[in-house]
Structure 1
Amino acid sequence: MKLKPIGTISLLFIMLLFVTKANAQSFPNYYLIPKPESMETQDGIFSLGKNTIVNNNLGKEANAAIAELKRMSSLCSQSATKPGSIIFKNETKPLLEGGYKLSVKKDQIIISANTEEGALNAVSTIKQLTGAPLFLTKVVALEVPCVTITDNPRFQWRGMHFDVSRHFFDLPYLRKTIDRMAYFKLNKLHLHLTDDEGWRIEIKKYPELTQKGAWRTYSRHDSVCLTLAKDNPDYELPKKHFKVINGVKLYGGFYTQEEMKGLIKYAQDRGVEIIPEIDMPGHMMAATKLMPWLTSSGQAAFGKTFSEPLCPCKETTFEFAENVFSEIAALFPSQYIHLGADEVEKTSWEKSPECAELMKKEGIKGVEELQSYFVHRMEKFLNSKGKKMIGWDEILEGGISPTATLMYWRAWVPQAPKMAAEKGNYMIMTPGEYCYFDAQQDDNSLQKVYSFDPLNYNLTEDDKKFVSGIQGNVWTEYISTENRYEYMVYPRMLALAENAWSNSSKDWNDFENRFIGQLPLLDAMHINYRFPGLRGFSTKSAFVDKAELKVINPVSAFKVRYTTDGSNPTASSQLMPAKIDITQSAQFKVAAFSSTGRHGDVYTIDYQQQNYLEPVGNTEGMKNGLKFSYYPGLYKSVKEIKETDRDKQDITKGIEIPVANTAGSFATKHTGYFYAPETGVYTFFLRSDDGSVLKIGGNTLVDNDGFHTATEKTAQIALKKGCHPFELLFIEGGGGYTLQLQYESPSGVKQSVKAENFYN
């Protein structure tokens, strides 16, 4: 949704003080994200002004951090009344790479580190301690509360991925992204520079890759964005990314090598390493449209599932690839280069005479091994340039080199991390279920990211040492603007940052408290974050005699407003009272508003007055479990499920799919009876990826149909004690599935459905 610009400085400070007062509890009072390893607070503040003295006893390792402190002091309009000093010194006691110690006293700050990254991380903590004033245009001085911190990172790889191919994002915004990453101690920026939709980095050997390959007429993704933009301007295609070429208005953009050198230096000065990805052999249509001879078929087109890949059986392919990567290796100082190697359409390889000949010559048994041949050969070339290769987890297929780094993304292949560790391959954990921030958010998304355990893949203690870290990924097919990017990424990036850095045990309530405390900072940074979700209701609510609507607002500084006439709430709509008594069917629309006029998601709550649904009987004569049916095939909606396609039947204890090897796309049906142990209103929570529909008593209760990422929908129904007809339909379109059902009883207890709830 479109969020309004930040308001005045005075409103910002009011909000900051209000939130601070409302949450003034025990550690952490200072809302630091990621949470430090240890922190002790003291009374008093250190005043950072124009005349603050910096002493460097750490040497060149402190230079970048000192430059950051100078940028901070340049914001101050006055000198401190009593000029204090900031001292950098070498830490003699062991610290992990990037670790630091920070001591803030009234007259002195001591930063102890033994690496440049550690010194920069200490400054990032100081930035968070200063709060929102750091991001205002003019401040008298920056106040740093007195504190003692010892801090070490959990993982060395703390990354964010940014797809700049599907939709282009310019250098100023990438610099802003780097600043924000450093602020939250993220240290790897993985740039997805090429894909079917656009080639974004200059290759001097092949200038047409950016002269032509960086520009396009509207793609199918653009068309979707333009349709969505009718209701949400955040989907518009920015005018600044259009250019008229030969009389045709085209969308796109690219980075010259000189521009990228400047960005790399900017990132290095802030402790962020840029890792380039040139995705091969698939996702190459931006190049193959210009050079169709690179494919096996001699065409640049889409195959059965993905675009025609490069042909791994032609020497001209390797000549092209090596020329490209020679320039990439010379340009990027990172020791890593990402080859991609995911989602490869291999159909044309199976039909290629060149591939048949190569497979015979090399003893290659199938196309999976043919992909491995390409990956291994490219890895040897990258190694010859002094680089290490990263690939998406498909590089496991057909065999993997022990020196390659695996980027695990396919959550539906849970054995992949174990396989990689047993082969001695280091890996970066980025499973789509937790780490794909282009997936649509709901009110559970932030906690989902926070709950992610990258070591929970049946790994032994020896296996775990091969987990280098975690990364959040942002694919931009449907993210066309900076505003939309921020709405999708924030606040999930904060949960990822904490997961990547903090070694302390997880406490969701503690993290949520700190995140809410950070909201004034996000406002001051002009970040278009998603508001914390409103709670305490079901969007499809039921009652028999009467009900109470009590909206739980997790941010006390925000005001909840509502309407009952079908229109969306505005900043002048009625304030939501502590409760509203419901005695007849009605519809409410509610949203949270900040003091600056921004608002969060609009929730539509439909109240329906019902009679208790009569049961069909009790459990006498029935058996526990549900009848289960399995339908292999692609269905776009549960309405398309055909009984003639049924391949398997079984009895399940609950909502489970007892099929050892499911098809890539399939549908399921669970039928039987739900036993309501008491009379009252029940709330059902249905979460699925892809579509699902829950029916009780023959009527649709929850409609979560269609292709989508893991999304939860809720609904209420008034049930009499006893057995009620139950049906749950589900479709999986490909790429891993989620199917979860919970309910809240009339007693107010939320739980997952269990075997004792179901009969047949």
Structure 2
Amino acid sequence: MFKLSISAAAIAGLLASGAAFAGQQTVDQISQLAVNYTINDNHAGANGVDCAALGADWASCNKATITLTNHGAAITDKDWAIYFPSIRQILKIDNDQFAVTHIVGDLHKLTPTDKFTGFPAGKSVEIPIVNEYWQLFMTDVIPRWYVTSGEATPKVIASTNSEDLSRFVSPLGGDQWKRTPEDKNILMTAEARFEKNSDVKLLNARNLRGQILPSPSRVTVHGEDVDLSHGVKLDLSALTAPSARAISDRFALLGVKTDGSYPVKTAIAAREFKGDDAVPGAYRLQIGPKEARITGYDEAGVFYGLQSVLSLIPTQGAMKIATLDAEDAPRFQYRGMFIDVGRNFHSKASILRALDQMAAYKLNKFHFHLTDDEGWRIEIPGLPELTEVGSKRCHDLSEKTCLLPQLGSGPDTSTNGSGYFSKADYIEILKYAKARHIEVIPEIDVPAHARAAVISMEARYDRLMKEGKAQEAAAYRLLDPTDTSNTTGVQFYDRTGYLNPCLESSRHFIDKVIGEIQQMHKEAGLALTTWHFGGDEAKNIYLGPGYTDKNKPEAGKGQLDLSKQDKPWAKSQVCQTMLKEGKVADLEHLPSWFAVEVSKIVNKHGIEKMQAWQDGLKDAKDASAFATKRVGVNFWDTLYWGGADSVNDWANKGYEVTISNPDYVYLDFPYEVDPQEPGYYWGTRFTDERKLFSFAPNNLPQNAETSVDRDGMTFAAKSDKPWPGAHGISAQLWSEVVRTDDELEYRLFPRLIAMAERAWHQAGWEQPFQAGKEYQGGVTHHVDTKALHQDWERFANLLGQRELAKVDKTTLAYRLPVPGAQVAAGVLAANVSLPGLGIEYSVDGGKQWQRYQDNARPQVSGEVMVRTVSPDGKRTSRATTVR
């Protein structure tokens, strides 16, 4: 007789494996649901929804519907959860079969309630929700929703697994693109673009002869041309070998042989430069019929002079450049580009491509935002958890192996939510930048926006405690375990989003990180001269002005129980001890106090300058409060909210002010007011090349006369205070909704070229600052708008006829402007904001495309599609329709 014996453990294992199988079956089924997200009402507060009672900031909320359609077999299992990203807080759900829970950051969880009746076969289930604020662009909806069930492997819902948001997001209809019913912005339809573009004409190529970008201070163009078809003979003895290679590579890229016969000679002779021209980067360029000569104030000047020769090189026809004499010097010594790789990682290759373009247009500061709540992106020897945990995002609810998914990264590490630069990568980037005369400014953002570091150091703490190394475990811990503060950061992280500034271990951590990054700079052969502290947004958003206590409500504000809200670190015993001892005045002063403490560490490392976002230093007396020789701020107040005046305060306190304000130089914002255009838009609804070109960075009030506020309305600006002048200007690209390298490049280019023009060259239409002088759109007329228009027309033609063809020779996925079009009496007329770019049209829904010729406008009927085509014919813009 045979006897079968099965242990209890084996039975449990079988049951678990059965449950896991059932859970995986549910995950697989739900992952095939068709998701649709529809924005129904962006003015919900005006249409019967009590946004204030729901706790919405400034009582502003919107209505949307999530529709889940099951094309497969019925699903009745209740053991599942759909995790989905939402940059808007979900205030209410109007389907009692489901519940929505906020996890952390933008991560939410949709789960069934006891009333859940299933996903019937062939049926749709609608889940109406109310969100905070509004959703005006499709990129407010984030992809890669995923489903889990017990121990089953999480799976992305297939219909959301795309950067093409139109696969699951409905187009915004009616006036849903307006922030409020009173919104005065202009929706960019084909007809609206046509009208906007109509004042910019195509210039004859002869009108662009001898034009250099960015524009020189002084240039005289002569009548004779030089033919470079036989190549140049470059004398690069004034450059280091890496810089010489960078220049030679650029000549080769543009099709100019460097073993030719036309001599290009270079020299450094600082003594020949006087007055305003005697600054780093200044150069003189003489292009004669027999040879070209470049004299630089320094090596950077020689490099920029050679870039000016490259700027002149045509991209079609005979390879001839004008003879000319130019005297040139940079307007600002800080001409910057900022890239955030914390929110979403961007590859080393994309960074190197961006550095190439910076060099081509004489930008010289690369502000590298290496860390944020969502990711730590640089290897730090001795602190492996920073990259082993903090550089990865995946579905680990314990966050012991990775950070939780954010911003569409999905449940595993296969997307750009994960990634980091090794020490070797960073050194390579440093060397590449140095060869192009670009300083890399690393930013490790503290004390807020520090969650990736905090969670990583908690993982380190747990590991070493298990090994019995308590003292070593505590050495770099960034959380005070006594701190139970209920606080919420700007992007909805809890207290784990804030490094605790009161801990000695936090200062040890900063010291360690600075030292290791400084060593990388040394190994790259250059000094670390500027350290960026970050410092921004160390606050609880629910204690901001848009909220009110529900027990004493104020009209027009979100109602919350403010007694349950804490300032950051309010319940940290370490911080409370510091307050009692008088080391810091109050909780509000902690971020600025910490900035001073970090400046001491920066100075100890021999680093000359510390830089920060200006709000991180707001409670310090002035620049003299810091230990470093120089202190810089990135100024990021919007002009229409008072920034045209408050900027003076920073300069007058001795800070080196780098103009970085969102309403002009945040390049993650949309190019135009069109829901299909990607980007954040809290500071402005659009920033195109023309707006950026028209920016006056050294007289901020002037911009009130040439632009509008976020709602498309004119505003007034002035300052009665002295203005010592800006130290520089920087273009910012934050990466919350910039997930891929292609998306990064689309946002940066060609707008960055317009920013470079303003960074290098002060135009004649820019007025000098005058205390007390007020500017207001439609009211004052101080700016010479005719001169501004002529200057823009020249620049726009240079981009359309010459510069973008050069960008085509790279692999950059730059943006092509969507064309304007109208049909009158059956005739199609089309134009483009950058004249010289080709336009195509289709009368059969995009099956066949024909080249549009303005001198032979075609007869059309019905719906017509138009799009812009790149100079090399390989890429096209988004298509638009016109009737």
TM normalised by structure 1 equals 0.65
- Asked if structure 2 preserves the Cα contact closer than 8 Å seen for 1:49 and 1:79, the reply is no
- In structure 2, do the counterparts of structure 1 residues 471 and 379 end up closer, same or farther at CA, with 3 Å as the change threshold? same
Whether the aligned pair in 1 keeps the contact of 2:867 and 2:876 (CA below 8 Å) is yes
Displacement of 1:312 in angstroms is 1.5
Provide the rounded CA distance (Å) in 2 between the counterparts of 1:291 and 1:225.
22
1:165 corresponds in structure 2 to 342
Corresponding residue for residue 279 of structure 1: 445
Q: Is the 8 A contact 1:50 1:73 kept in 2?
A: no
Counterpart Cα distance in 2 of 1:77 and 1:100: 22
- Map of 1:686 onto structure 2: none
The alpha carbon displacement at 1:358 in A equals 0.8
Which of 323, 329, 334 aligns to 2:528? It is: 334
For residues 375 and 570 of structure 1, do their structure 2 counterparts lie closer, same or farther at Cα, with a shift above 3 Å needed?
A: farther
2:873 to 596, 607, 628: 596
Instruction: In structure 2, give the amino acid aligned to 1:88.
Output: A
Counterpart of 2:798 in structure 1 is: 514
1:312-327, aligned counterparts within 5 Å? 312-327=501-516
Per the TM alignment, residue 173 of structure 1 is displaced from its structure 2 partner at its CA by 2.3
Question: The residue matched to 2:576 in structure 1 has which SS?
Answer: helix
Q: How far has the Cα of 1:476 moved from its partner? A: 1.2
* Residue 358 of structure 1: aligned partner: 578
Question: For residues 299 and 86 of structure 1, do their structure 2 counterparts lie closer, same or farther at Cα, with a shift above 3 Å needed?
Answer: farther
Judging changes above 3 Å, is the alpha-carbon distance between structure 1 residues 50 and 462 closer, same or farther for their aligned structure 2 residues?
farther
Q: Which amino acid aligns with 1:311?
A: N
2:571 aligned with 1:571, yes or no? no
Aligned-pair distance for 1:499?
0.5
User: In the alignment, which residue of structure 2 is the partner of 1:288?
Assistant: 454
When residues 314 and 72 of structure 1 are mapped into structure 2, their CA distance, relative to the original with a 3 A threshold, is closer
Look up the match of 2:434: 268
Q: Which residue among 616, 621, 625 is the counterpart of 1:395?
A: 616
**Local SS of the residue matching 1:290:** helix
Query: What is the match of residue 328 of structure 2?
Result: 151
Match of 2:665 among 429, 435, 449: 435
Check 1:199–1:300 CA distance in 2 against 1; reply closer, same or farther (3 A cut). Answer: farther
Corresponding residue to 1:373 among 590, 593, 596: 593
- Identify which range, 553-562 or 204-213, moves more after superposition: 553-562
Distance 1:295 1:148, change over 3 A: same
Deviation at 1:495, TM superposition (A): 0.6
Partner residue, 1:93: 273
The AA in structure 2 aligned to 1:121 is Y
* Contact 2:800–2:837 (8 Å) recurs in 1: no
C-alpha spacing 1:39/1:220, structure 2 compared with 1 (3 Å):
farther
- The superposition leaves residues 589-636 of structure 1 with CA deviations (integer Å, 9 ceiling, x where unpaired) of 32223461422122234x6xxxxxxxxxxxxxxxxxxxxxxxxxxxxx
CA deviation after TM superposition for structure 1 residue 451, in Å: 1.6
Task: Please tell me whether residue 526 in structure 1 is matched to residue 811 in structure 2.
Answer: yes
Partners of 1:530 and 1:70 in 2: CA distance: 27
Q: Does 1:310 align with 2:499?
A: yes
> Cα offset for 1:521?
1.2
* Distance in 2, Cα, partners of 1:220 & 1:515: 42
Alignment partner of 1:191: what SS? strand
Q: Is 1:481 matched with 2:740? A: yes
Q: Hey, what does 1:467 align to over in structure 2?
A: 726
Instruction: Extract unaligned runs of 5+ from structure 1.
Output: 3-20, 134-138, 227-236, 244-248, 608-760
Q: Is the 8 A contact 2:252 2:258 kept in 1?
A: no
When the two structures are superposed, what TM-score results if normalisation uses the length of structure 2?
Answer: 0.57
Given the alignment of the two structures, is residue 121 of structure 1 paired with residue 398 of structure 2, yes or no? no
Find the counterpart in structure 2 of residue 44 from structure 1: 225
Residues 208 and 798 in structure 2, CA contact (< 8 A), matched pair in contact too:
yes
Counterpart among 632, 635, 642 of residue 408 in structure 1: 635
Q: Which moved more, 1:289-298 or 1:391-400?
A: 289-298
Note closer, same or farther for the CA distance 1:174–1:53 as it changes in structure 2 (3 Å cut).
Answer: closer
Match of 2:806, SS? helix
3-state secondary structure, aligned to 2:654: coil
Mapped partners of 2:293, 2:721: distance in 1: 37
Root mean square deviation, CA, Å:
3.6
Q: Structure 1's 23 and 158: CA in aligned 2 closer, same or farther, altered over 3 A?
A: same
Q: Distance in 1 between matches of 2:658 and 2:799?
A: 25
Q: Post-superposition shift, 1:270?
A: 0.9
Alignment check: 8 A CA contact 2:612 2:632 kept: yes
CA contact (8 A) 1:408 1:427 kept: yes
| SS of equivalent residue, structure 1 residue 349 | coil
Aligned-pair CA distance for 1:225 = 7.5
Distance in structure 2 (CA, Å) of the matches to 1:375 and 1:552: 51
Distance 1:398 1:427, change over 3 A: same
Rounded Cα–Cα distance in structure 2 between residues aligned with 1:220 and 1:148: 58
Which residue, 826, 830, 836 being the options, matches 1:551?
Answer: 830
- Amino acid of the structure 1 residue aligned with 2:351: L
Q: What is the SS of the residue equivalent to 2:831? A: coil
Change (3 A) 1:213 1:71: same
Q: Amino acid of the residue matched to residue 181 of structure 1?
A: M
For residue 64 of structure 1, report the CA deviation from its aligned partner: 5.5
Deviation at 1:288, TM superposition (A): 1.3
Structure 1's 407 and 251: CA in aligned 2 closer, same or farther, altered over 3 A? closer
Please say if residues 288 and 323 of structure 2, whose CA atoms lie closer than 8 Å, have aligned partners that are also in contact.
Answer: yes
Matched-pair contact (CA < 8 Å) for 1:569–1:590: no
Q: Which residue of 1 aligns with 2:680?
A: none
Q: Aligned letter for 1:323?
A: K
Q: CA deviation at 1:85?
A: 5.0
8 Å contact kept, 2:287–2:322? yes
Alignment partner of 1:181 is 2:358: yes
Following the alignment from structure 1 to structure 2, what is the Cα–Cα distance between the partners of residues 216 and 327?
24
**Residue 285 of structure 1, CA deviation:** 1.2
Question: 1:144: how far off?
Answer: 4.8
Asked if residue 24 in structure 1 is aligned to residue 303 in structure 2, the reply is no
Summarize deviations over 1:718-759 as a string: whole Å, max 9, x none: xxxxxxxxxxxxxxxxxxxxxxxxxxxxxxxxxxxxxxxxxx
Counterpart residue number, 2:689 = 446
The answer to whether the Cα contact below 8 Å between 2:353 and 2:812 also exists between their aligned partners in 1 is: no
Q: CA deviation at 1:101?
A: 0.6
Matched position secondary structure for 1:437: coil
Secondary structure of 1:342's counterpart equals coil
Deviations 1:333-382 (A, max 9, x none): 23111110111235341222222221121263432211111111111211
8 Å Cα contact 1:446/1:495 also seen in 2: yes
Q: CA deviation at 1:315?
A: 1.5
Once the two structures are superposed, what CA deviation does each residue of 1:236-291 show, in whole Å capped at 9, x if it has no partner? x9xxx956xxxxx9952222223322221221111111000000001111111123
